[in-house]
Each structure stands twice: as structure tokens, then as C-alpha cells.
Chain A
Amino acid sequence: MATTETNAPQLDADKNRPSQHIPSARRNGRWSGYRHLLWARILELKREPEVVFWVFVFPLLLAAGLGIAFRNKPADITSVVVIDGAGAQKALAMLQNSAARSTVRATILGRDAALKAFHFGKFDLAIESNPDGSYTYYYDPARPESVLSRAEIDSALQSAAGRKDALATSSQSSSEPGSRYIDFLIPGLLGMNLMNSGMWGVGFALVEMRQRKLLKRFVATPMRRSDFLLALTSSRLVLMVVEVGLLLGFGVLVFHMRVQGSILSVILLGSLGAVAFGGVGLLTACRAQKIETVSGLINVVMMPMWIFSGVFFSYQRFPAITMPFIKALPLTALNDALRATILEGASLGSQSGRLLVLAVWGGVSFILALRWFRWT
């Protein structure tokens, strides 16, 4: 409290000379406003339960849900139904004694029940024994696993019945972490999350403050406008580190994902992505007066990227003619770069094209946003 007492008389003396401002020892440094704005933003985010859910919990739930639904089934068990009849027990015994017994699950059912279950996809193949001792396979040529299972079961039955292989062969399995769906998915979710939270975290927050007249109140102080925009954008960087850590940590711990590239590269990529989408969010929100308006705008901007930028499935499925457009989207560049770094260990230097796409989107948006920005 000593500062209070020494400062008070000096300030009073100063007041008596209103038109001759005499600079005294400044208590606040150049970056005091920026630091307080950043800290206030982080406090607000922390105290907003919706933010915690959408930024942190939701992506994890999505990763868990999709990771489980599309997990690679162990060695693709073939489900077969044997239609009850004279040769049914014999066929079952042959399958259970065959070399394929570990990958085949066979059941005996009545004819109607068996065919019905087969048609509903519960079984890949139905086997019926004929009076002459031969067998008929029911399979669906449109279902790859059905076609596969016919070949597999036929081979197993033939061997069990005494067929000798003419050629000696052996097989080795190769199923490494890195090539599974979850490995593809996690970097995509990371990119999508950086886009979502950048657009909402910057764009929505800004329009809300404009609507509350808080922006106007801020520019009525000596606050530097650039400090404000910088604080809003860099608050994204703090969140980004948490987002990246959570999603990657989740992938590594739960799905035994392997991160090939360096964590530093991932963080640098995340920073570039967060800042680029912060810029796009800023531009989206630079004029809007109402949160309803900006919500619509944000969705319009993000929609093409949800679909085309390869979050949940590879964008290579789209026609070749659309590739230049798709690759020019910032989320495509970010997702590709994240996948290359995380899954293949590619260096940042080898991805200069993608980094450039991100930097141009972020930079151009930021400049346009500053030019058009409405504070009141």
C-alpha cells in the first residue's frame, strides 16, 4: 500500500495543470493491456461450461465413438449358418476340425430362420446339404465379406474332405498401428476442432462483445486496438495446446496410436492452424452486429470444409476435377499437414505448400478484417 500513499499527492498536483500533462513514472508498461486482455479471455473461456464441452469433451467423444464403431475387427471372423438337415452335423464337424476353425463361427438353424438371418446380414454365408451328399452355398455377390467367406469356407471344406494343395504356400499377417481408421481420424478431428474453436472462439465472441457495446467501451479507453485483436487470437493458441494434447493423448492411450513426427512440429502446425482460423473467424465477424447473423455466416464458411477437407473420409473420393478447389481450402491443408506429420513423420519443410495455403488464408483474412472492422 506504500505506492498508494506516495502516488496520491503527485496525481492531485498533476490535476491542477490539466492542459500541461507532465509524464511521471508510468505504472503500466506497453504490454499491460495485452496481458490483461489475454488473461480475461482465458478466465472467461474457463468459466463458460459450453466452451469446455465443445472444445475439449466433444472431440474426445467423437473420437471414441467413431474409433469404436470403425475399429478393425480381429482377423475378420466369418459367420456361417448351416441349414439343419441330413448333412448339417457333418459339415459343422468338418469346419470345426479344419485349419480355418479359429476364424469361422458356424451355427445350425432351421431353413427359414437361417435364410432370414443370412438376408439380414447376420451371417456372411448359408450352407445347405443336398440329399446326394453335395453342398450348396447361399451368398450375396454384392457383399465383399460374403464373397470372401464362400471362398474361405469352400477351401476349408475341400481340405477337410481330403483335397491336397498342389503348391506349398505360407502367409504372414501385417496390421500395424498407423494404417487404421482411427489413425486417419484423429488428425482430421484435430484439424476440424482447430477450425471450429477458431471460428466460434474468435468470431462469435467478437460479435457478442460488439452487441453488448463492450467493443465500443474498450475503444473509449487508451487500449490499443491491435492489442485487443492480438489477445483474442492468441488466446486461441493457449487453447490449441490443450486441444492437441488431449486429442493426441487420447489417441495414444486409448487406441495405441503412434505419433511419428515431433511434438514440436505438431504444435507449430496447430499454432499456424489456430491463428489462420482465428483470422478467418475475425473476417467472418468483422461487420456483423448480431450473434444470429454471425452464427449463420460461420456455418456457411465451415460447411464446405466439413464435407470436402477430409475430416472423416479421404477427399480423394471426390472427382479429380475438384481437387484444386479442395486443396486450396485451409482445413484441407491443415488436415493433410497434420496427417503427414503425425502418421508419416514428415518434416514441416517438406510441406511448404500446405503451410503457405494456411498462412495466406490467415494473413489475408486478418488484413481484410482490420480494414473492414466495425468497433461500435
Chain B
Amino acid sequence: MGTIETTVECTNLRKTYDGKVEAVRGLSLRIEAGECFGLLGPNGAGKTTTIEILEGLLAPTSGEVRIFGHTWDDNPRQLREWIGISLQETRLSEKLNVRETIELFASFYSEPRPAADILEELQLTEKSDAWVGKLSGGQKQRLAVATALVGNPRILFLDEPTTGLDPQSRRQLWDIVRTFQKKGGTVLLTTHYMDEAERLCDRLAIVDHGVIIAEGTPSDLIDRLGGHHMVEFQVNNSANDNENDSDSLDRWRSLPSVESVRRENSTVCLSVREPHLTIPALLDAVTNHGHQLEHLSTRQASLEDVFVKLTGRHLRED
């Protein structure tokens, strides 16, 4: 059976709110068993609407969702047994303690994992008697994931799991996701952090304005930029003020090994295959035109660069 490998599948999803706002505009994806799949995109791209349709919490305006080959109308209770969910924002009861909260969620599933195992795995054992209201942001988020894991799910849906967390808490959550995946679980997560998508996800779909604009492994997506390196610099343009912008961009594009060029404010960003060929030529070009180089840096290309190339905007506009 070919369908055994596919855990989550949706075709041509559309969601229109109040007959006006089109949050999702024809989105299709397939998630294979055992992979960590990421929906990466800026706020308002339709990630949460998409994941909530897949979770069966929102009905799509049109399109079809299948999880293990079942639709949400077939057997919702059985599907709920198979999936674990962490919503973007849930404030669990503050007057219950951590263990009581996990045991409450465990009681809804027919074959839950023991609460003590979950506490141990999510490093919440020390906090098991603390009221939820007294937990830190990172601990609350780990508890939210704990309530998703306690049902022993095959698929974990995480909507912006690390938004607003400190770096250490984010790494803890990444470890939790990897552990779940190592045991054979499938993960679907949304994020607007490109580093999270790059480190955690086996495959990604970049979402913008309710559609997928690119899909593939993080390295595939970066490969499509053409170059794996970014060279960024600023020049003092005093010698030739009336040289127009596109002329200067053309000049940088003609440098050796350059794949593409873009300008952000006064910084020029070159996407480059082999920086050791580009940089000497760049320095010569700057000197020959009587410019002064004010800032020069090179770095590995990231998903952020992919997003900027595709949309002309940054993932986070703040």
C-alpha cells in the first residue's frame, strides 16, 4: 500500500473568513511518516489557519484533508487519539499543578503514556507540584507540549512552539521534538524563525499570502538561490553621486561567481558560489571606481535569504 508512508495529506485547501478574507488560497502538501515538516512564513501568511484545518479544528472552505488516509468526517475520535497538538496560544488552568494537568490530558486518551515518563522527558519532574500559573514561559510551553505528547501520538502538531522563548528554552524544545521524531513520530510545525526551520525540519514549505511559494529540504531551498554564501558590503559613493542604482547593481552582478544581487537600504547583498573568487574582484572594482568600502562581511546563505529572494520581504518585519 502506497499510502502507508503518507501521514498527512491535503489538497487544494482554501479558507475564506466571512466571505472576504482569503487566509489560505489553494494549498496542497504531503507529509511522510517519520519526518519533521515545517511551515515557514511571516505572521499572517496563513500558517495557523492551515495547521488548524489539518488538526480538524477549523473546517476548510474547500479542499480535502487526509490523515493516515482518513478524513475528519470519517472517525474524528480515532484521529484525535493519533495526533498531539500544541496550539499557538493556550493558557492552561493556573490553579492546577503540572502533574494534575498532565494527568487530566492523559485521561482523555485510551492508551496514554505514564505521567511520570512525560514529566521526566520534558524536564518537568522538579516542577510537578508547582501550579501552572507559577511556571516560566519556557516551562509553560514545555507543559503545553507535554499535554500533546501524553496521549502517545503518532503525529505532533506544533503551532509556533518557540515564539517568545529565550534561547535555552528554544533549544530544550528542539531536543524534545527530535526525541519524538527518533521514536518514529511525525512532526508538523509552523514557525517564523528561519533558524528553527533550518535546524529542525527535514522538509519545509515556505508559505506567503496563503500559498506555498517553495517546498523542499532546507539545503534544497538554499541551493535554489544559486550560491551558498552571502557577501554583504556598503560603499561610500562620494566620487560618483549621479550613478544610478541599476547601473551599480549591474556592475556588482558582473563580478565573478555572483548568482544574484539585491540591495537593502545602503547594503548590497551578493549571493555567491565561491567567495574567494568574488571578494578580490569586488575590492578591485571598489578601488577602480574611487569608492570607499565601509563594511564587508560574508556568511552562509540562510532560509531568510531564500524568502527575501522569493518575496522581496523579510520573514520578520519587526
Contact = CB atoms under 8 A, between A and B. Distances in A.
Interface in A8-39: 11-12, 15-16, 18-19, 21, 24, 26-28, 32-33, 35-37
B95 A217 contact: no
Contacts of B213: none
Interface stretch (A41-49, A182-190, A232-240): A41-49
Interface stretch (A89-97, A118-126, A128-136, A218-226): A218-226
Interface in B72-96: 77-78, 80-82, 85, 87, 89-93, 95-96
B110 A26 contact: yes
Given A18-B33, A19-B68, A43 B100 contact: yes
B95 A221 contact: no
Contacts of B104: 36-37, 40
A54 B26 CA distance: 53
B233 interface: no
A32 B107 contact: yes
B152 A214 contact: no
Interface string A188-230: 0000000000000000000000001110111111110000000
Contact of B111 (A28, A33, A220): A28
B3 A221 contact: no
Interface residues of A, number: 35
B157 to A, nearest CB: 9
A28 B57 contact: no
A217 B163 CA distance: 18
A221 B91 contact: no
Contact of A221 (B1, B68, B80, B96): B80
A213 B106 CA distance: 19
A40 B3 contact: no
Given A15-B154, A32-B107, A44 B7 contact: no
A4 interface: yes
Contacts of B116: 4
Contacts of A289: none
A295 interface: no
B93 A222 contact: no
Contacts of B77: 222
A213 B108 CA distance: 17
Contacts of B58: 376
B193 interface: no
Contacts of A171: none
B147 interface: yes
B4 to A, nearest CB: 5
> Most chain-A CB neighbours within 10 Å: which of B82, B107, B154?
B107
B274 interface: no
A27 B111 contact: yes
Contacts of B117: 4
Given A12-B184, A376-B57, A216 B78 contact: no
A37 B107 CA distance: 9
Given A212-B90, A214-B93, A217-B87, A15 B112 contact: no
A170 interface: no
A174 interface: no
Given A28-B107, A221-B108, A40 B93 contact: yes
B90 A214 contact: yes
B109 A28 contact: yes
B103 interface: yes
Contacts of A15: 154, 183-185
Contact of B91 (A26, A28, A47, A212): A212
A326 B125 CA distance: 56
B63 interface: no
A6 to B, nearest CB: 12
A27 B103 CA distance: 13
A3 interface: yes
A205 to B, nearest CB: 10
Contacts of A43: 95-96, 100
Given A18-B4, A18-B7, A216-B57, A221 B109 contact: yes
Given A4-B117, A24-B111, 19 more contacts: A3-B114, A11-B113, A15-B183, A16-B184, A26-B110, A26-B111, A27-B112, A28-B106, A28-B108, A28-B110, A33-B108, A37-B107, A47-B131, A212-B91, A213-B87, A214-B93, A221-B80, A221-B151, A223-B108
Interface of B: 1, 3-4, 7, 33, 55-58, 68-69, 77-78, 80-82, 85, 87, 89-93, 95-96, 100, 103-114, 116-117, 131, 147, 151-152, 154, 183-186
